[in-house]
Amino acid sequence: MPDSLSPTHPLALAPVFAPASTKDGFVEQFLHNLNFDQGVALSSSSATDQYLAVAHTVRDYLMARWLEDLRRQRETQSKGVCYLSAEYLLGRQLDNNLLASDLTEIAREALAECGISLDDIRAEEVEPGLGNGGLGRLAACFIDSLATLGVPSIGYGIRYEYGIFRQTFVDGQQVEQPDAWLTVGSPWEFAHPENAQTISFGGHTETYDDEGVTRSRWVPGWNVQAVPYNYMVPGYQNGRVNTLRLWSAVATDAFDLRIFNSGDYEEAVRAQTFAETISKVLYPEDSTPQGKELRLQQQYFFVAASIHDFLDNMLSEGYDLSNLPNRVIFQLNDTHPVIAVPEFMRVLVDEKHMEWDAAWAITQQCFAYTCHTLLPEALEVWPVELLGRLLPRHLEIIYRINEEFLTAVRAQYGDDEMLIRNMSIIAEHPVRSVRMAYLATVAGAKVNGVAELHSQLLREKVLPDFDAFFPGKFTNVTNGVTPRRFLRLSNPELSRLITAAIGDGWVTDLERLRELEPFAEDADFRRAFAEVKAANKRVLSTVLRERDGFAVSDGHMLDVMVKRLHEYKRQLLKVLHIVSTYEGVVSGRVAVSDVVPRTVIFGAKAAPGYAMAKRIIHLINAVGEVVNNDARLEGRLQVLFPPNYNVTLAERVIPAADLSEQISLAGKEASGTGNMKFALNGALTIGTDDGANVEIRQLVGDDNFFLFGMSEPEVDALETAGYRPSEFYQADPQLRAAIDLIASGAFSHGDRSVFEPVVSNLLYEDRFMVLADFASYVAEQGRVDAAYADQDAWTRSAILNVARTGFFSSDRSIGDYIDRIWHTPPAL
């Protein structure tokens, strides 16, 4: 910086220019970036070069605002949110960033002038798939809303070199390919190796005398460097740009030498290997953590880096740490970042020399925990042996937290050993382990579930003792989705129609969609709405033809089930419905002319180690193969399973859907967010009373929702009474015929062994009660068929779904977090 420019001079605060807000400016900047960043002339540039140059142009445009927001957040020192999440399933960035900066039309015209189509450029972007499913996508929606609402905040996570695997099918079976999303580089990120944090692992602890005070300290065995990569998170046309900071692990010479000198060669090699692997790959387990050592390393790696980053770089000089609760709230996105709690305590007590009680009081105000599941197997536990080996000081801290907590429990309830064992953060069986959800609950100022039903079950069934012990700690924040990506961007035609009717205020105030209700009674509007749906189907049909070579039939009801493959979500129920329809026709029970033409679209990845889920994928493909090619069906039933369902494909599928399948066993799906996206885009839902389906149905009304299946209390009662799936099989000839057809080898070239494990699991175990809900599901699908026959009435319902689901904006969710949990001040 020149001497004459003081740090407060305007030119020192922001870049010297804010380019590209006009078409000519965009052209100039684009060509400049093409020449100077990519090193090519327009005439010799590839589509990738052009994409990168456009991305840089948008990035440059946002830069001034970003730097200003960073400065403002550092200067004001008002309370902000640190969102800690191991996953951010971002989706493509270009379109979103163009929209947020209101540059879409300028870019389109500018590129056209250069002979380039913006649509072609968009297709070049590889989406960053740094998440598994709902949890990671929720985090991405939340950072969008935080920026749009102008909440001082930062998202912290991991910059996985490989995101969620790319799914391919070989002979109908899932084969995973690595997701090398960084091959052409990521134009949206800024590496800051100079701000790397050193993250330690292993070693031992010791006590020492500090002028008469006995203190503990951790003497680590090895360490890695955490390099921050910053991503811009622009708010929607509000001039705000927040930050997402993702950490990448690298080895350093420094640690090599230190450990090498200590003589422990094996440890040094180990550390170096780990340094390179810690941020290498996203674990593809959704809902079923495998308890792998590397995963705990990833978790500690990113939360330790984030906490130190916050304390070192976000606080003003000499900040009084006892004020931290007025300055920050760390929101724990599920149990993955919960190791942040003992790390924060370690920093306060061991490094800042704070008294334990004072530090604990601060910690309990600085953290809040969101639980995203009800499945017991999804609640993370870490064996004490592993945690103690990797993070010995943290284990000591967890023990002390637990000891003091259990003392308090005893003081209230007496020596009820059963209760103590149930509430202990440390589980004794099958191996001594740390229950991360309990640790988070004890430490968190608030604990929230992600839909009303989920929060209720969390309090009543998963953590009832904690709810009694900590009155007022539990709350609900129903999930939401960003209307920018999942309506405005992904459904431009519907957006235009809505805006023409009620103005564009809905983009940031989604409840305004209510104003559409009267239009449901307007025949012209219904016609226009139906035309939009038809146009979206044509777009999807083109995408699937180009992407997968599928031929999508015209005039079909589009019936969609897209989500991770998990038994509790019950893709098998949908398969049984398809098989049953097919069986009805081929057996002559049903006249083919009575089959309402449907195209069923599946999208689902299975965790690579989840054998049953992979078999179900195989079965879906096998059923599709037979059904799609059997002339007796006269093309009235089509089953399509495009591989590698991701955010980019979701943005095409959801706007085109007529029917949204949300058919989990009641009490198992915490919330769901796909369900919200479909309703918001005018698909009708067939669903159980589960997760956020409950709230969707309440809002759209029973007449505009197809409810089926047992309620959660009914599931509970059946479980208590003793569920025997084979009884349902015996009692229902239609169900029997469908299962028998699968068992006969009809979908496996006569080989009965291929799907035998699926069939016997259904008949003898069926943990998620597919057979118990089958009859109800099929009956409700009959009502779907009947309703679809009256297209005008269907469209009316679809419009009401759009009009009444504004509640599911992630802006509303964030508002609830602010009111119920964070208590952050109004936007700066």
Choice among 363, 673, 685, 805 that is catalytic: 673
Choice among 569, 605, 668, 812 that is catalytic: 569
Closest CA to 131 of 336, 330, 278: 336
- Examine the residue annotation and report whether 537 is marked as an active-site residue of this protein: no
Size of the site for ligand NTF (CB under 6 A): 18
The 8-class DSSP code of residue 458 comes to I
Q: Which is nearer to ligand NTF, 485 or 796 (CB)?
A: 485
**Segment near ligand NTF (CB under 6 A); pick from 184-192, 257-265, 390-398, 668-676:** 668-676
- Examine the residue annotation and report whether 545 is marked as an active-site residue of this protein: no
**Segment near ligand NTF (CB under 6 A); pick from 98-106, 237-245, 504-512, 663-671:** 663-671
Dist CA 809 CA 479 (whole Å): 8
What is the nearest approach in angstroms of ligand NTF to the Cβ of residue 563? 9
Q: Dump the DSSP string for 482-515.
A: -HIIIIIIT-HHHHHHHHHHH-SGGGT-GGGGGG
- Examine the residue annotation and report whether 79 is marked as an active-site residue of this protein: no
What is the nearest approach in angstroms of ligand NTF to the Cβ of residue 603? 16
CB of 508 closer than 8 Å to CB of 702: no
Return the structure tokens found at 580.
């049953």
What is the nearest approach in angstroms of ligand NTF to the Cβ of residue 816? 13
Choice among 566, 677, 697, 804 that is catalytic: 677
Return the structure tokens found at 731.
């009692």
Among 19, 80, 128, 133, binds ligand NTF (CB under 6 A): 133
669 binds ligand NTF (CB under 6 A): yes
Among 138, 324, 409, 656, binds ligand NTF (CB under 6 A): 138
3-state secondary structure 757-798: HHHHHHHHCCCCCHHHHHHHHHHHHHHHHHHHHCHHHHHHHH
What is the nearest approach in angstroms of ligand NTF to the Cβ of residue 799? 25
Among 245, 346, 372, 574, binds ligand NTF (CB under 6 A): 372
- Examine the residue annotation and report whether 804 is marked as an active-site residue of this protein: no
Single-letter residue type at 171: D
Choice among 65, 245, 295, 372 that is catalytic: 372
Single-letter residue type at 457: L
Choice among 564, 618, 668, 812 that is catalytic: 564
For the window 436-475, what string marks contact with ligand NTF as x by the rule CB under 6 A? --------------x-------------------------
Tokens 């057996």: give the residue: 587
CB of 418 closer than 8 Å to CB of 340: no
- Examine the residue annotation and report whether 569 is marked as an active-site residue of this protein: yes
Single-letter residue type at 68: E
Neighbours of 353 (CB within 10 A): 11
Q: Which is nearer to ligand NTF, 220 or 672 (CB)?
A: 672
Q: Which is nearer to ligand NTF, 667 or 691 (CB)?
A: 691
287 binds ligand NTF (CB under 6 A): yes
What is the nearest approach in angstroms of ligand NTF to the Cβ of residue 216? 33
Choice among 108, 394, 446, 563 that is catalytic: 563
Among 378, 520, 575, 620, binds ligand NTF (CB under 6 A): 378
Among 97, 272, 299, 671, binds ligand NTF (CB under 6 A): 671
Dist CA 530 CA 797 (whole Å): 11
Alpha-carbon separation of residue 787 from 524, 663, 684, 705, 805 (angstroms): 20, 19, 11, 11, 21
CB of 639 closer than 8 Å to CB of 620: yes
- Examine the residue annotation and report whether 372 is marked as an active-site residue of this protein: yes
Between residue 391 and residue 420, which ones bind ligand NTF under the rule CB under 6 A?
A: none
What is the nearest approach in angstroms of ligand NTF to the Cβ of residue 446? 16
Alpha-carbon separation of residue 113 from 7, 23, 30 (angstroms): 40, 9, 11
Alpha-carbon separation of residue 230 from 125, 189, 307, 338, 342 (angstroms): 18, 5, 16, 23, 26
What is the nearest approach in angstroms of ligand NTF to the Cβ of residue 529? 27
What is the nearest approach in angstroms of ligand NTF to the Cβ of residue 754? 29
CB of 448 closer than 8 Å to CB of 371: yes
What does DSSP say about strands 598-603 and 637-640: parallel, antiparallel, or unpaired? parallel
What is the nearest approach in angstroms of ligand NTF to the Cβ of residue 286? 5
**Angle subtended by helix axes 134-148 and 810-817, to nearest 10:** 80
482 binds ligand NTF (CB under 6 A): no
Between residue 685 and residue 704, which ones bind ligand NTF under the rule CB under 6 A?
A: 691
Q: Which residues are catalytic, by number?
A: 372, 563-564, 569, 673, 677
Contact positions toward ligand NTF, by CB under 6 A?
133-135, 138, 286-287, 334, 372-373, 378, 450, 479, 669-673, 691
